[in-house]
């Protein structure tokens, strides 16, 4: 028997199978998908078996040394998925498989390190022999007690460890056993019953065909009960003996969502996200692998879990950019989900209050089936939104808080209701704005905010390369107020404390949530009304459901409008609309105050109208005019090097290489310095490729990748459909 094996090195030139002979002693155990040790060159390396064959190769081969991990291997679906991932992202196959495994099972890890055991005592003889011993040794009360206990079931050793237990062990009546212990306890209690779906929910639910592959887009306003629809579908899927994956964008969101799933489905649920320790992840992976759970709720990488016989895949908040990984392999979890839904012939349900334009456009064309929920589940109205002009507030001396917002916060404090405040830090500190009039620099060609480069004191479009000098005075209002608008959450918190000394304020941002469990605690405490005001960054925008919040304040709406990204409008709309959606989710009407330097801005006014569909039409029009996705595709090539000249020269060479090889309708922009130009002294240049259809692109980029990534001084990163620029 022979095995075709890929080895651990993620190098283009080694991205192929090597053949080894399988020695007799492991013939029985070796399986496709297993991790093995093989000789390679002068050393010993890990590999993954991709194929077993009896065909004898016509060259000499070495032998497989041993199987590294007999218990867990990649199944057939995962192996196929890995190949798909490789094709989609141009990574090496080993990189694809590595990405699919939790860190504890990655190729060089020793699995044994992660197994955790409890030691139990158990009976080592049949019950009749035990009973005989009990009768003959009646006066040995302690021994008898232990044996009686063990007759009812195994007991943790530490609870009955004594000289008596040791004697019984010596006599061979009882023995120790090790039982694997999961770090996250199985939740048995199913505390919540399902709601009866309302008419809209029922209609959406009815539309989903659980027996066939289809992609659905569930578009439902905030609080419309989308999660309830998923849970009903999943419940059916499980009844049919199948399984479900629910992807959520980040743990911030998982915490509350996970609880809802635990409460409904108890021990059938495993969770999987970056907030878990490697040990916890390993354990959850084992629960899944051993088919002890039926539902996995988790972030991006959960799409790779070895759940068998999938019956539905749900992507919650599908518009989120968290589904795209921006390091190698640069995959989109949605593509992976699509592959698995096809493979299992089951539905893929994308869901959002603010779908990505791509998804909505596909639904418009009938590629996806559109399901919509237009009302909040409990018939509450969507919150009322007020736009406040900060230019005039500044003149009154109100810097961070407008008079209106201050008043409204005070009213909530008086009424014992809660407030959420968003400090929008997206796109911070990369652009210049006028603090008197709100002016920002935009590229005349691309309508994208220019990025400020401090060293050269100029502003650049990192998309087309347009450059201009920074003025001393604002070109619009001629004030000397061109600067970064940089204020941190801490500063805002301090100001809030001064304004409302009696208020209990909690801050949720990077700094306050790094410690394990701290995020959950903030959420729980706020839900328990231990605080009056929750101040946070975009972390607070999604998924959270607090009953007593009646006011949401957006301190600075504008920063994200100025993201140097053609998706700036979309990201802003989604952020503000979702954050607004945190208000008035229960019995009391909600209100939202949005502070801005651009009160006439169309996007903000559409947030005010709570109208996603109008936003969609408005933004599609712009995308059409400027030929941005979803009317085109974009692929980004980033060229990185410690050597500035080499990076810049390579970037030019690449452009020259591409030009004659791509379709003549394909546009190549750049090279330009990337938006983050220098990181750790590595220079980043980028080339942007825009196309509607180019059947040569994939092949050309593959060749390009292989040519350049075998060099050591420059590195290339190719991202199809990047989430960010
Ligand atoms: P979404 O995910 O669309 O934002 P949720 O699923 O969080 O909405 O639902 C919002 C609120 O409405 C939740 O508190 C949920 O328990 C409640 N809810 C959802 N569906 C129903 C229903 N059919 N009947 C009563 N309450 C519901
Ligand atoms: Zn430009």
Output the residue whose Cα is nearest ligand 1's atom 19. 225
pLDDT confidence of residue 713: 85
Is 463 within the bounds of a domain? no
Whether pLDDT at 50 is above 90: yes
Ligand nearest to the CA of 462: 2
627 CA distance to ligand 2 centroid (A)? 13
The C-alpha R_g of the chain, in whole angstroms, comes to 30
**pLDDT-based confidence at 552, cuts 50/70/90?**
very high
Quick check: 559 and 718 in contact, CB under 8 A?
A: no
Whether pLDDT at 287 is above 60: yes
Is 483 within the bounds of a domain? no
Q: Tell me which of 352, 373, 394 is where a domain ends.
A: 373
Whether pLDDT at 428 is above 60: no
Is 725 within the bounds of a domain? no
**One domain for residues 71 and 42:** yes
Whether pLDDT at 194 is above 90: no
Neighbours of ion ligand 2 (CB under 5 A): 443, 445-446, 461, 463-464, 466
Is 266 within the bounds of a domain? yes
pLDDT confidence of residue 357: 96
| 290-to-28, 286, 305, 306 alpha-carbon distances in Å | 21, 6, 12, 9
Convert the pLDDT of each residue in 123-138 to its tens digit: 888 888 888 888 888 8
pLDDT confidence of residue 521: 87
Ligand nearest to the CA of 202: 1
Whether pLDDT at 109 is above 80: no
**One domain for residues 407 and 532:** yes
Which residues, 6+ apart, have CB-to-CB distance to 634 below 8 Å?
A: 628, 688, 689, 690, 721, 722
Cβ–ligand 1 contact at 544 (below 6 Å)? no
Which residues, 6+ apart, have CB-to-CB distance to 460 below 8 Å?
A: 450, 451, 453, 466, 467, 672, 673
**One domain for residues 347 and 367:** yes
Output the residue whose Cα is nearest ligand 1's atom 4. 223
Domains contained in the chain, number: 5
**One domain for residues 420 and 565:** yes
The residues with which 553 forms a beta bridge, in sequence order, are 421, 593
Whether pLDDT at 262 is above 70: yes
pLDDT confidence of residue 192: 67
Q: What are phi and psi of 300, to 5 degrees?
A: -30, -55
**One domain for residues 415 and 367:** no
**One domain for residues 545 and 646:** no
Cβ–ligand 1 contact at 698 (below 6 Å)? no
Q: Tell me which of 373, 407, 441 is where a domain ends.
A: 373
pLDDT confidence of residue 580: 87
Cβ–ligand 1 contact at 378 (below 6 Å)? yes
Mean pLDDT: which of 248-252, 536-540, 588-592 is highest?
588-592
Q: Which of 589, 605, 516 is nearest to 557 (CA)?
A: 605
Mutation test of ligand 1: which of 197, 228, 229 has the most ligand atoms closer than 8 Å to its C-beta? Answer: 228
What CATH number does the domain containing 318 carry?
A: 3.40.50.300
**pLDDT-based confidence at 455, cuts 50/70/90?**
low
Whether pLDDT at 532 is above 90: yes
**One domain for residues 584 and 637:** no
Tokens, residue 543: 């998924």
Is 238 within the bounds of a domain? yes
Q: What is the mean pLDDT of residues 157-169?
A: 85
pLDDT confidence of residue 151: 86
**pLDDT-based confidence at 679, cuts 50/70/90?**
low
Whether pLDDT at 177 is above 60: yes
**One domain for residues 234 and 317:** yes
pLDDT confidence of residue 111: 61
Q: How far apart are CA 296 and CA 241, in angstroms?
A: 15
Q: Which domain holds residue 35?
A: 2-105
Is 464 within the bounds of a domain? no
pLDDT confidence of residue 68: 86
Buried b (16+ CB within 10 A) or exposed e, 577-601: bbbbbbbbbeeeebbbbbbbbbbeb
**One domain for residues 158 and 302:** no
As a whole number, the mean pLDDT across the chain is: 87
Q: Tell me which of 74, 105, 136 is where a domain ends.
A: 105
Is 468 within the bounds of a domain? no
**One domain for residues 408 and 551:** yes
Cβ–ligand 1 contact at 644 (below 6 Å)? no
579 CA distance to ligand 2 centroid (A)? 30
Is 112 within the bounds of a domain? no
What CATH number does the domain containing 12 carry?
A: 3.40.1440.60
Q: How far apart are CA 156 and CA 165, in angstroms?
A: 12
Q: How far apart are CA 719 and CA 639, in angstroms?
A: 12
Mutation test of ligand 1: which of 219, 227, 233, 297 has the most ligand atoms closer than 8 Å to its C-beta? Answer: 227
Cβ–ligand 1 contact at 376 (below 6 Å)? no
**One domain for residues 578 and 522:** yes
**One domain for residues 130 and 208:** no
What CATH number does the domain containing 649 carry?
A: 3.30.70.600
Q: What is the mean pLDDT of residues 525-547?
A: 85
pLDDT confidence of residue 597: 87
**pLDDT-based confidence at 274, cuts 50/70/90?**
confident
Mean pLDDT: which of 133-147, 181-195, 219-233 is highest?
219-233
Q: How far apart are CA 430 and CA 676, in angstroms?
A: 9
Q: What is the pTM of this model?
A: 0.85
3-class secondary-structure state, position 192: coil
**pLDDT-based confidence at 652, cuts 50/70/90?**
very high
Q: How far apart are CA 282 and CA 103, in angstroms?
A: 8
Q: Which of 150, 145, 227 is nearest to 192 (CA)?
A: 227
Q: How far apart are CA 176 and CA 173, in angstroms?
A: 11
Cβ–ligand 1 contact at 347 (below 6 Å)? no
pLDDT confidence of residue 429: 54
């Amino acid at each position: 028997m022979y095995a075709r094996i890929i080895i651990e090195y993620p190098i283009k030139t080694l991205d192929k199978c090597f053949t080894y002979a399988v020695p007799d002693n492991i013939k029985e155990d070796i399986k496709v998908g297993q991790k093995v040790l093989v000789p390679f060159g002068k050393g010993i390396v890990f590999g993954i078996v991709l194929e077993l064959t009896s065909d004898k190769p016509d060259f000499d081969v070495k032998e497989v040394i041993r199987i590294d991990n007999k218990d867990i291997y990649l199944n057939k679906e995962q192996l196929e998925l890995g190949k798909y991932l490789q094709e989609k992202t141009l990574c090496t196959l080993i990189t694809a498989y590595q990405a699919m495994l939790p860190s504890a099972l990655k190729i060089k890890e020793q699995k044994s390190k992660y197994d955790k055991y409890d030691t139990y005592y158990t009976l080592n003889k049949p019950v009749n022999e035990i009973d005989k011993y009990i009768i003959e040794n009646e006066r040995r009360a302690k021994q008898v007690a232990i044996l009686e206990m063990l007759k009812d079931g195994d007991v943790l050793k530490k609870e009955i460890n004594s000289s008596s237990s040791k004697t019984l062990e010596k006599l061979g009546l009882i023995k120790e056993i090790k039982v694997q212990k999961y770090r996250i306890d199985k939740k048995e209690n199913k505390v919540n019953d399902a709601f009866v779906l309302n008419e809209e929910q029922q209609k959406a639910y009815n539309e989903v065909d659980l027996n066939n592959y289809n992609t659905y887009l569930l578009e439902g306003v905030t609080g419309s009960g989308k999660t309830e629809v998923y849970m009903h579908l999943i419940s059916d899927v499980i009844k049919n003996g199948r399984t479900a994956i629910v992807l959520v964008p980040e743990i911030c969101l998982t915490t509350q969502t996970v609880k809802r799933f635990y409460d409904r489905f108890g021990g059938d649920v495993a969770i999987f996200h970056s907030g878990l320790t490697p040990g916890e992840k390993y354990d959850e992976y084992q629960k899944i692998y051993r088919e002890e759970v039926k539902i996995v709720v988790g972030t991006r990488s959960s799409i790779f879990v070895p759940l068998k016989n999938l019956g539905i895949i749900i992507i919650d908040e599908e518009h989120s950019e968290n589904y795209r990984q921006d390091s190698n392999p640069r995959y989109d979890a949605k593509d992976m989900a699509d592959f698995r839904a096809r493979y299992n012939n089951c539905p893929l349900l994308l869901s959002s209050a603010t779908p990505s334009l791509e998804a909505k456009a596909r639904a418009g064309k009938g590629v996806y089936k559109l399901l919509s929920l237009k009302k909040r589940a409990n018939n509450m109205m969507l919150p009322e939104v007020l736009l406040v002009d900060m230019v005039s507030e500044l003149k009154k001396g109100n810097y961070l808080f407008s008079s209106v917002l201050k008043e409204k916060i005070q009213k909530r404090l008086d009424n014992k209701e809660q407030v959420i405040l968003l400090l929008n830090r997206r796109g911070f500190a990369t652009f210049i704005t006028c603090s008197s009039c709100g002016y920002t620099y935009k590229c005349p060609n691309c309508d994208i905010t220019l990025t400020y480069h401090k060293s050269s004191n100029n502003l650049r479009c990192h998309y087309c390369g347009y450059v201009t000098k920074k003025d001393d005075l604002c070109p619009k209002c001629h004030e000397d107020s061109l600067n970064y608008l940089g204020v941190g959450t801490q500063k805002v918190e301090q100001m809030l404390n001064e304004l409302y000394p009696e208020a209990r304020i909690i801050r949720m941002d990077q700094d306050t949530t790094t410690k394990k469990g701290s995020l959950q605690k903030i959420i729980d405490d706020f839900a328990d009304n231990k605080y009056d005001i929750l101040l946070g960054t975009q972390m607070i925008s999604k998924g959270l459901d607090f009953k007593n919040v009646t006011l949401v304040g957006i301190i600075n709406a504008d920063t994200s409008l100025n993201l140097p990204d053609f998706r700036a409008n979309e990201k802003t709309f989604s952020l503000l609309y979702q954050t607004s959606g945190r208000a008035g989710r229960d019995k009391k009407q909600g209100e939202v105050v949005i502070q801005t330097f651009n009160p006439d801005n169309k996007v903000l006014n559409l947030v005010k109208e709570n109208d996603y569909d109008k936003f969609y039409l408005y933004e599609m029009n712009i995308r059409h005019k400027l030929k941005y996705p979803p009317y085109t595709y974009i692929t980004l090539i980033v060229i990185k090097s410690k050597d500035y000249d080499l990076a810049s020269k390579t970037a030019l060479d690449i452009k020259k290489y591409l030009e004659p090889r791509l379709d003549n309708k394909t546009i190549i922009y750049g090279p330009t310095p990337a938006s983050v130009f220098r990181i750790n002294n590595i220079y980043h240049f980028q080339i942007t490729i825009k196309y509607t259809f180019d059947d040569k692109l994939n092949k050309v980029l593959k060749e390009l990748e292989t040519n350049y990534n075998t060099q050591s001084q420059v590195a290339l990163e190719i991202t199809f459909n990047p989430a960010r620029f």
